[in-house]
Amino acid sequence: MRRIAIINQKGGSGKTTTVVNVGAAIAEAGYKVLLIDLDPQAHTTIHLGFEPFKLEKSIYDVLVNEVPIDEIIMETHQKNLFLIPAKIELASAEIEMVNTIGREIVLRESLKKSKNSYQYIFIDCPPSLGLLTLNALTTASEVIIPIQAEFFALEGLTKLVQTIQLVAERINPATHISGVLITMYDKRKNICKEVAEKVRKHFGKKVFKTKIRENVKLAEAPSFGQTIFEFASNSHGSEDYKKLAKEIINGGRNEKKRTWKRST
C-alpha cells in the first residue's frame, strides 16, 4: 500500500487537481484507490460531484469525534475510486484537537483500524503547514509536491522541506519526498521554463518527467463534478495526468527495487 500526501502550503499549486485526476487515472488502471480530502475547502469532494453540506459525516468526525474511518468512506461514480470527504466544519478541527493526546497521528491510527485496504491512498492537504497537514505527513509514506510554474513558486519550499524532514526524524521515518511535479506549465512562457529549471536544479531526479500543462479543461472539470477523463478525455490535461499516473506506478516499482538492492 502506498500512502501519498500531496502537499504545498501555497494555495493554487495544483494539489486538488492532481489528487482527483491522478487518483482517477490509477483507479482506471485497475488499482483500488482512496482519496482523503483533508482541506476544509472540500475541493476534492466537490470535484468528485458531491455537495459537502449534504453529507452527514466527513473526515472531521474521524479527527474530532473518533468515528471509525470505515463509516465515512464513500464510493464515487468511478469504479475502484473511493473518497473520505471533507466539509467546511473541518476548519475548526485544528483548534478542537488542541487537547487531543497524540493529535498529530489521529488520521494514521484511525486508518490502521480500517478493515478496508487500498493499493493507493492520496491525501489532499490544505494550504498551510498546520495540524491537518501534520496528520497527512505522519500518515504518508511519500510526499508529492506540486509546484505551479510561476514567479513565486519557490517561496516557502524550504520551510516545507524542513517540516517533512522534522516529521521524518521525530514521528514517521518512512515519509520522504518521492516526487516534485511542475503544474500549469506553458512552454511559451519564459518564466515557466526558468521555474522548471530551478526546480530541477534543486530537486534533481525527484522531479517527474511529466509536466502538467496549463489546460483550461482541467479548470472547468470541477464545476461539472467530473474528472478530466470524464469531462474531456482528449485534452492535454487528460494526456498529462495519465502519463503522470504511469510514472507514479512505475516509480513505486523502482523504489521497491532500490530497497531490495540495498538490503542484499
Ligand X SMILES: Nc1ncnc2c1ncn2[C@@H]1O[C@H](COP(=O)(O)OP(=O)(O)O)[C@@H](O)[C@H]1O
Binding footprint of ligand X on the chain (CB under 6 A):
11-17, 43, 127, 183-184, 212, 214-215, 218-219, 222
Residue whose CB is less far from Mg ion, 18 or 139 = 18
Residue whose CB is less far from Mg ion, 16 or 172 = 16
Q: Which does 156 bind (CB under 5 to 8 A by kind): Mg ion, ligand X, none?
A: none
Contacts of 214 (CB under 8 A, 6+ apart): 184, 185, 186
Residue whose CB is less far from ligand X, 16 or 178 = 16
Count of residues making up the chain: 264
Closest CA to 16 of 217, 211, 218, 159: 218
Three cell numbers at 68? 471509525
Mark the segment that binds Mg ion (CB under 5 A) among 8-16, 137-145, 147-155, 203-211: 8-16
15 binds Mg ion (CB under 5 A): yes
- Residue whose cell numbers read 494526456: 239
Q: Which does 184 bind (CB under 5 to 8 A by kind): ligand X, Mg ion, none?
A: ligand X
Three cell numbers at 116? 478496508
Residue whose CB is less far from ligand X, 11 or 68 = 11
Three cell numbers at 96? 478542537
Residue whose CB is less far from ligand X, 179 or 222 = 222
Order of strands across the sheet with 177-183?
Answer: 74-75, 81-84, 33-37, 120-124, 2-6, 142-148, 177-183
Least Cβ distance, residue 122 to Mg ion (angstroms): 12
148 binds Mg ion (CB under 5 A): no
What single letter denotes the amino acid at residue 4? Answer: I
Any idea of the CA torsion for 41, 43, 44, 48, to the nearest 10 degrees? 130
Least Cβ distance, residue 169 to Mg ion (angstroms): 27
| Residue in 2, 10, 43, 87 binding Mg ion, rule: CB under 5 A | 43
| Residue in 13, 16, 58, 135 binding Mg ion, rule: CB under 5 A | 16
- Cα angle for residues 158, 21, 124 (degrees, 5° grid): 45
Least Cβ distance, residue 11 to ligand X (angstroms): 4
Q: Which does 222 bind (CB under 5 to 8 A by kind): Mg ion, ligand X, none?
A: ligand X
Least Cβ distance, residue 26 to Mg ion (angstroms): 19
What single letter denotes the amino acid at residue 81? Answer: L
Least Cβ distance, residue 87 to ligand X (angstroms): 17
Q: Which does 215 bind (CB under 5 to 8 A by kind): Mg ion, ligand X, none?
A: ligand X
Least Cβ distance, residue 6 to ligand X (angstroms): 8
CA 194 – CA 21 distance, rounded (Å): 26
Q: Are strands 81-84 and 74-75 parallel, antiparallel or unpaired?
A: antiparallel
- What SS3 class is residue 27? helix
Which residues contact Mg ion (rule: CB under 5 A)? 15-16, 43
